[in-house]
Amino acid sequence: MTDDTTPAPHGFLWGAATAAHQIEGGNVNTGHWELEYAPGSAIPEPSGDACDSYHRYPEDIALLADAGLTAYRFSVEWARIEPEEGVVSRAQLDHYRRMIDACRDRDVEPVVTLHHFTFPRWWEHSGGWYSDRSTDRFRRFTEICTRILDDVNWVITINEPNMMVNQTEARIDTENGVNFPGPSPHVARAIAGAHHASTEVLRGFGGVKSGWSVANQVFQAVPGWEAQRDEWQYWREDFFLEQAREDDFIGVQSYLRTIIGPTDDAQGFGPQPWPEGTERTLTGWEYYPEALGHALRHTREVTGGIPMMVTENGMATSDDRRRIDYTAGALTAMQDAMDDGCDVRGYLHWSLLDNYEWGSFRPTFGLVVVDRETFVRTPKPSLSWLGDLARRNVVPRR
Ligand code: IFM
């Protein structure tokens, strides 16, 4: 452990993040599950029991708290809470309330995501984001969730709306990086409408701080291609950052950069391949921890400077030493951005557990190994490393 550190602001949140479908297991009522198990499915591996965190969440929260972390970001599952349209499961709401209580019992700040990629089957079969009822449906779901959110301070309405727009048209390719088909402005506006309806509900409800979390792609331009970069990035990122200007905070999620320049296709510009020899992670992404600093600065610029929380950042690797290097680099970049005036309230690592990476368990992002047969959890050195920073409330310095 280096002593070359800088104190973080008082009350800075240090934590880790997960999402329901990626860890709970048995999430059978989602459209994603339906796709995973459809005959001839294009999804290579189904989620199955995932990490069985639906039952083992007390152990997961205890692991995080024992390591010294002070915040846990998790999502509630719409398909469980509203299994059929208009039908509310009190039992499932109670389940998520128990998760909040388990956090509070361990002095862990719960950061609750209302929607993280998965939908109930009924939603998928009745128009999804193309239904003219999508905003009302999400508003109603938010109202249902408020029944268990009374002492929750941080709520993320929708995770990575910008990636969801892409996924509405195509799937994430977990082996080779993220696909970038043309995003649909119609879907983007529908999701933004749902977000605004949701924050309106949450604003009228106690002291909760609400916002959404955007996947920041750190779009950089080949010199001379800045205008094309800006065009490329608008519907893939900036539109979504603009929507946050009136929010209490924004979640910044950063992993890598994307360089925009000339291509041979009809559009004539787009993401450039990474040069031969570039270090790649298990998701095929470039190893580029500096991305977090760029992401924070860009988010501040577009939102006008609302408070930010790093709600995801991490690296898929089987080499935990490299995960620590990556995270130290990202935290250093975060500190540089904070020194330049970025208002960052916390750092939540992706992810607490090795989990289901949307089609495969192979890309391991976790601070904790989960045995796929027995569900036994084994903390990695990176968990105690991050927990030590949290206990001392310090950020590594260059
Ligand atoms: O696993 C995902 C998560 O669901 C959303 N953000 C990116 C992560 C890594 O791909």
Residue 53 Cβ < 6 Å to ligand 1? no
Radius of gyration of the chain (CA): 20
Residue-level pLDDT, tens digit, the chain, 398 residues: 446 999 999 999 999 999 999 999 999 999 999 999 999 999 999 999 999 999 999 999 999 999 999 999 999 999 999 999 999 999 999 999 999 999 999 999 999 999 999 999 999 999 999 899 999 999 999 999 999 999 999 999 999 999 998 766 544 444 444 444 567 888 999 999 999 999 999 999 888 999 999 999 999 999 999 999 999 999 999 999 999 999 999 999 999 999 999 999 988 999 999 989 999 999 999 999 999 999 999 999 999 999 999 999 999 999 999 999 999 999 999 999 999 999 999 999 999 999 999 999 999 999 999 999 999 999 999 999 999 999 999 999 87
75 — phi, psi (to 5°)? -115, 150
Residue 237 Cβ < 6 Å to ligand 1? no
Residue 350 Cβ < 6 Å to ligand 1? yes
Report helix, strand or coil for 273: coil
Residue nearest to atom 2 of ligand 1 (CA): 357
**Stated pTM of the model:** 0.96
Beta strand pairing call for 377-379 and 368-370: antiparallel
Q: Which of 312, 317, 353, 354 to mutate to test the pocket of ligand 1 (most atoms within 8 A of CB)?
A: 312
User: Could you give all domains of the chain from N- to C-terminal order, each with its CATH number?
Assistant: 4-397 (3.20.20.80)
Residues facing 312 on adjacent strands: 253
Atom of ligand 1 nearest to the CA of 283: 10
Q: How far apart are CA 236 and CA 244, in angstroms?
A: 15
Q: Quick one: how far is CA 132 from the chain centroid?
A: 26
Residue 253 Cβ < 6 Å to ligand 1? yes
212: which DSSP letter?
A: E
310 — phi, psi (to 5°)? -75, 110
